[in-house]
Amino acid sequence: MAEIKVTKCSTLTGWRYREREKVLWRRGGRAELKHGHKLCLLCSVIGNFFFGVNLYVGPRGLWKWKWSSDEVHIQGLSWSGRAAVEAELAAAEACSGHGRAFLDGVVVDGRPICECNTCYGGPDCSLFLPSCAADADRGDPLFLEPFWKQHAESSAVLVAGWHRMSYSFGDQTTFLSRELESLLRKLHSLVGNAITDGKYIMFGAGSTQLLNAAVHALSPHNSSLPATVAASIPYFALYQMQTEFFNSADYSFQGDTMQWKNTTNTTGDIIEFVTAPNNPDGQLNEAVLHGPNVKTIHDRAYYWPHFTGIPSPADDDLSIFTISKLTGHAGSRFGWALIRNEEVYKRMNTYLQLNTMGVSRDTQLRALKLLKVLVKDGGREIFEFGYKTMSKRWDKLRKTLSMSTRFSLQKIPPENCTFFQKVRDPTPAFMAAYAWVRCEREEDRNCIEILKAAKILGRGGSVFHDNNRYARLSLIRSDDDFALLISRLGRLVSQEEGAKIM
Amino acid sequence: MAEIKVTKCSTLTGWRYREREKVLWRRGGRAELKHGHKLCLLCSVIGNFFFGVNLYVGPRGLWKWKWSSDEVHIQGLSWSGRAAVEAELAAAEACSGHGRAFLDGVVVDGRPICECNTCYGGPDCSLFLPSCAADADRGDPLFLEPFWKQHAESSAVLVAGWHRMSYSFGDQTTFLSRELESLLRKLHSLVGNAITDGKYIMFGAGSTQLLNAAVHALSPHNSSLPATVAASIPYFALYQMQTEFFNSADYSFQGDTMQWKNTTNTTGDIIEFVTAPNNPDGQLNEAVLHGPNVKTIHDRAYYWPHFTGIPSPADDDLSIFTISKLTGHAGSRFGWALIRNEEVYKRMNTYLQLNTMGVSRDTQLRALKLLKVLVKDGGREIFEFGYKTMSKRWDKLRKTLSMSTRFSLQKIPPENCTFFQKVRDPTPAFMAAYAWVRCEREEDRNCIEILKAAKILGRGGSVFHDNNRYARLSLIRSDDDFALLISRLGRLVSQEEGAKIM
């Protein structure tokens, strides 16, 4: 393909030079009348003509671009310029630093409106809503949004109208992008958090879809004895909700692994969810159940250097990852599974085909572009950004609760991080996506209610089938959410009677 | 927001003018030495200086852009130019008109390779593979790909690296784009194929995900009597495959509706799939089962003016649509359901949340951009393009089989199309996405095998639980696939003994 030459200059220079050029035509004219130097005029005219023409008399002239205009032309581009300008105009909405405007946002006066962070409002998100509750509930990974704004050029992707309309990729057989698959293998080897050799890779709409696909693939079929599905308390609520809601005859959720620890020699299959690091408490869990009839699904959503140390690469039979907690793109719904057994892989593939016919090709294209940014520098930049952000947040959180006798935080043994090649802060410092807070007072049996009364939204222990003395606070949300959380916690602690003296 | 001024000119002119300008500097120099006319030189120098500078001495000079280069700057853009250029370079691969290169294609020598249409090969897809079988199997809707190449500018979308990272949209509660929802309502009212007033809209990963979500939502829960799921032969195989594979205790597939026609007063619920137009035979089916315990899922994937007449807007309790057969974007995995009952909507919403946490926000953004192109002119352009393409294909197919006594085509009564405001070609002309071919010879009991022997791939009647005397041939694939299908059918017919004389 021939090279394309494109030039850089401000969008305004073309206009300025157009004005200046008019002046110079007049000068040229006066010069001729006064001195009549023909050759001189010739030089001037030729020079002005060639450059003047190029400056603003293109095939369709100089366009003044307006939102919703039909006429957009960018020097150096043919059909893609309009989409690029639309995206830059949406991105140009500052929203006071407390929100952002999206290309597909609700349009008012021909422009997408600002979508504000929690507790901010007004047309430009500049209005703080003092009575609003600090949101530390959902694991919305917006702490990485600033990273992507800093890497706007390398992470942007333009989707052509005819991009991948077919059901299958070029090889006519799969729903998976081979380029994306090889990039995922490269990423794992760079980060050192999983061994992909000898493993199949399956894509899903986030880890959410893959979790149930895995349960389905590991269950017996047309057996009178459905598989028992279990997880260790505290566990992520979705495991149970999914299994119960889809109500398959092939498997049934039976709660905590502990009750099955000494009965794994039963004839029925047992499927254990092992979440490492664990959601909610960040512990690097290991399988509790073992035996010939035990199958394990490792949920590795948080096994990345910005949430935990990576003592060694995982080499699970079946592990599940997601970009939601890797790049922060929860909205894109992209996850992948590493699968050792071919039969399990084939069953998961059938599940994906009959459930959604694979993952949106648009999403696969975007995931490819995002992961290329990570792989380019071996992940150093994003994980350092993420690690620094999370460290600062943990420092603030620990400092805020250090004087409290009412609230305590989970303890996690520091793990050596082979990625950063150093042990992270000495004990009791640790990293995790969530704070697993315990209300210590005898009377504070419902911790989430205590926090709620102080205008802090989190998730109660019972959601994770644990004691309501515990509450999960999300630390991976936006800077605004975290700042408000710390301020509300600080006020709560300061109101404690018998708080430790500094 | 301030207006942005952007200019249009060829990517090459900058370079040409740069060369010409060098010449003019020399001319200017000679002029001075020969005549010493200072003012003249001044004119020339000033003129050349102002425009010369603007042409190629921008803040970072003139960049020679190469694939995989880090330096890309487009006049008028800041961070989006690189993505735009990457997309245009991929699109610039002609692939001999028998394929296309994609941004996420396998990269060789730093560029994505051509992905060729079936039966074409070689690095540029110029190599026809004569022994290759004509592919009329899958319903890959590539007949619309040329339409989107013709509408490259209006259908392109640029996704910023930080686009919709959150799980939820601005309102913090939903997984659905409100803009997309209102655009879908507008589209249905423009086309006149469905009434959306008083209906809820649910998005899914294509109709595939919504079909099972609907079955799940319409089934009783924790009942000893699972719902009976049925469809009228010939029916789309996915209905049965899905229902059986997920093996829910709440419903079970029980085959043809006919066997339940006189037993709808049983206590158990019955869920009927009504596909209109039907896949495979294109008939505008209506519900066969009626009664207080009967619930109906209308699959309306093909209820668009390029496949059928639209006698009246559908007003079903639950109908399912998909862009796969509307815009041809099967790979994007986007569909939607119109739901009258609030409880059913809520259960489908829960299904979507627990299955995939909604539809990829990237996909919703792209669907919005594509549907805006349709809505802009009331759908006239795309449906006329699609209708003309399908009409021509049907004319060729009918002409090819007109002399045959061995193969016959399905008959569909012509429907008045309220969209085109005219009755389509008089009987026996009709439109459908698929040809439902019948092998008439006594000995041709397995029609698909007869076609296969003639190097034509289709789908046998038994796949649709019908007689193997029938075979489905897809007519919505690429022009290359259709041309080869016609040529192979023509040869087959010409070999018939006792073929009708023209």
Write the residue in B60, B157, B167 that is nearest to A83 by C-beta: B157
Q: Is A308 in the same domain as A358?
A: yes
pLDDT at position B95 is 96
Alpha helices by DSSP H, listed for A129-177, are: 145-150, 152-155
pLDDT in the model for residue B48: 43
The residue among A114, A137, A155 that closes a domain is A155
Nearest to A357 among B21, B208, B245 (CB): B208
pLDDT in tens, B463-484: 999 999 999 999 999 999 999 9
Q: Which amino acid is at A323?
A: I
Which residues of chain A are within 8 Å of residue B216 when distances are taken between CB atoms? 246
Please state, in angstroms and rounded to a whole number, the distance separating the CA atoms of residues B488 and B496: 13
> Residues A401-414: what's their mean pLDDT?
92
The pLDDT value recorded for residue A171 is 65
Residues 194-233 of B with CB under 8 A from A: 204-206, 208-209, 212, 216, 221
Candidates B250, B333, B352, B478: best to mutate against A (most CBs of A within 10 A) is B333
pLDDT of A45 above 80: no
For residue A91, which residues of chain B lie inside 8 Å, CB to CB? 79, 160
- pLDDT tens-digit series, residues A369-401: 999 999 999 999 999 999 999 999 999 999 999
Residue B443 scores a pLDDT above 60: yes
pLDDT at A418: 83
- If you average pLDDT over each of A320-334, A417-431, B50-64, B169-183, which comes out highest? A320-334
Hey, are the CB atoms on B362 and A331 less than 8 Å from each other? yes
The DSSP bridge partners found for residue A65 are B4
Tell whether B246 and B108 lie within a shared domain. Answer: no
Average pLDDT over residues B11-40: 36
Contacting residues of B for A203, CB less than 8 Å apart: none
Interface ipTM above 0.90: no
Amino acid making up residue B323: I
Q: How far is CA A398 from CA A402, A423, A493, in A?
A: 6, 19, 12
What are the pLDDT digits (tens) for A340-370?
A: 999 999 999 999 999 999 999 999 999 999 9
What pLDDT band is residue B6 in, cutting at 50, 70 and 90? Answer: very low
Q: Is the pLDDT at A331 greater than 90, yes or no?
A: yes
Q: Is B228 left (phi over 0), alpha (psi -120 to 50) or beta?
A: beta
Closest CA to B458 of B130, B129, B134, B120: B134
**Helix A81-91 vs helix B81-91: crossing angle, to nearest 10:** 160
Task: Note whether A302 and A369 are same-domain residues.
Answer: yes
- A172 is a domain residue: no
Render pLDDT for B105-132 as a digit per residue (tens, 0 to 9). Answer: 998 988 899 999 999 999 999 999 999 9
Average pLDDT over residues A472-476: 98
- Residue B164 domain-assigned? no
B302 and B291 share a domain?
yes
In which band, very low, low, confident or very high, does the pLDDT at A172 lie, cut at 50, 70 and 90? low
- Boundary-marking domain end, from A357, A378, A399: A378
Residue carrying the six token digits 């890797």 = A326
Residues 296-335 (A) with a CB less than 8 A from some CB of B: 324, 328-334
Would you place residue A17 in the very low, low, confident or very high pLDDT band (cuts 50, 70, 90)?
Answer: very low
pLDDT of residue B19: 34
Query: How many angstroms away from the CA of B139 is the closest CA of chain A?
Result: 9
Position A277 in a domain: yes
B151 and B49 share a domain? no
Average pLDDT (B420-424) is 60
* pLDDT confidence of residue B223: 81
Residue B322 has pLDDT above 90, yes or no: yes
The answer to whether residue A289 sits within a structural domain is yes
Average pLDDT over residues B181-209: 97
**Residue A258 contacts residue A289 (beta carbons within 8 Å):** no
Q: What is the pLDDT of residues B234-269, one digit of tens each?
A: 999 999 999 999 999 999 999 999 988 877 556 789
Torsion angle of the four alpha carbons B402, B404, B410, B416, in this order, in degrees rounded to the nearest 10? 10
Q: Residue A7's pLDDT band (boundaries 50, 70, 90)?
A: very low
Residues B329 and B360 in one domain: yes
Written as six digits, the tokens of B127 are 């190599």
d(CA B127, CA B441): 37
Query: Is B451 within the bounds of a domain?
Result: yes
Say yes or no to pLDDT of A54 above 50.
no
Q: How far apart are CA A56 and CA A20, in angstroms?
A: 12
Nearest chain B residue to A146 by CA: give it: B162
Mean pLDDT of A146-175: 93
Chain A CB within 8 Å of residue B48 CB: yes
- What CATH code is carried by the domain that includes residue A468? 3.90.1150.10
Contact A149 B161 (CB under 8 A): yes
Nearest CA in chain A to B174: A331
* Token pair 């809503």: residue: A129
Yes or no: say if B103 and B90 are a contact pair by the CB < 8 Å rule.
yes
Task: Tell me if B401 sits within 8 A of B489, measured CB to CB.
Answer: yes
Closest CA to A142 of A478, A483, A481: A478
Instruction: Say which range, A207-216, A445-454, B256-265, has the weakest mean pLDDT.
Output: B256-265
Kindly report the CA angle at B468 between B464 and B470, in degrees rounded to 5?
75
With CB atoms and an 8 Å threshold, state whether A250 touches B247: yes
Question: Would you place residue A129 in the very low, low, confident or very high pLDDT band (cuts 50, 70, 90)?
Answer: very high
B82·A329 Cβ contact <8 A: no
Give yes or no: residues A308 and A210 share one domain: yes
- CATH of residue B360's domain is 3.40.640.10
**B98 and B144 in one domain?**
yes
Evaluate whether residue B67 is within a structural domain.
Answer: no
Average pLDDT over residues A482-493: 98
- Output the pLDDT for position A260: 85
Same domain (yes/no): A301, A204? yes
Asked if A197 and A288 sit in the same domain, the reply is yes
Arithmetic mean of pLDDT, B153-168 = 97
**Are the Cβ atoms of B75 and A9 closer than 8 angstroms?**
yes
> What is the residue range of B389's domain?
381-494
B-chain residues within 8 Å CB-CB of A37? 35, 37, 39-40
Angle between helices B342-356 and A206-218 (to 10 degrees): 80
Q: Is the confidence at residue A32, as pLDDT, over 90?
A: no
Predicted confidence band of residue A265 (pLDDT cuts 50, 70, 90) = low
Task: List the beta bridge partners of residue B314.
Answer: B194
**By three-state DSSP, how is residue B64 classified?**
strand
Determine whether the interchain pair A248/B249 forms a contact, defined as Cβ–Cβ distance below 8 Å.
yes
Residues A293 and A432 in one domain: no
For residues B71 and B167, which has the higher predicted lDDT (pLDDT)? Answer: B167
CA-only gyration radius of chain A, Å: 29
* Residues B415 and B476 both lie in one domain: yes
Question: Who among A6, A149, A362 is closest to B360 (CB)?
Answer: A362
d(CA A320, CA A217): 14
Which residues of A fall within a CB distance of 8 Å from B348?
none
Q: Is the pLDDT of residue A16 over 60?
A: no
- B15 confidence band (pLDDT: 50, 70, 90): very low
Of B43, B241, B366, the CB nearest to A362: B366
Please indicate if any CB of chain A lies within 8 Å of the CB of B129.
no
Specify whether the CB–CB gap between A279 and A387 falls below 8 A.
no
**Chain B contact present for A58, CB below 8 A:** yes
Indicate whether A337 pLDDT > 50.
Answer: yes
Residue A39 has pLDDT above 90, yes or no: no
User: Does the pLDDT value for residue A209 go beyond 70?
Assistant: yes
**How many domains is chain B partitioned into structurally?**
4
Contacts of A24 in chain B (CB under 8 A): 43, 46-47, 50
Instruction: Find, among B206, B326, B360, B165, the residue nearest to A364 by Cα.
Output: B360
- Residue B399 has a pLDDT of 96
Give the pLDDT band of residue B77 (cuts 50, 70, 90). Answer: confident
- The answer, yes or no, to whether residue B424 has pLDDT greater than 70, is no
DSSP lists the bridge partners of residue B230 as B272
* A237 occurs within a structural domain: yes
Query: pLDDT tens-digit profile of B353-406?
Result: 999 999 999 999 999 999 999 999 999 999 999 999 999 999 999 999 999 999
pLDDT of residue B423: 46
Which residue among B326, B343, B378 closes a domain? B378
Structural contact between residues B183 and B391, judged by C-beta atoms closer than 8 angstroms: no
How many Å lie between the alpha carbon of B276 and the closest alpha carbon of chain A? 21
Whether residue A424 lies inside any domain: the answer is yes
- Tell me: cis bond preceding A428? Omega within 30 of 0 counts: yes
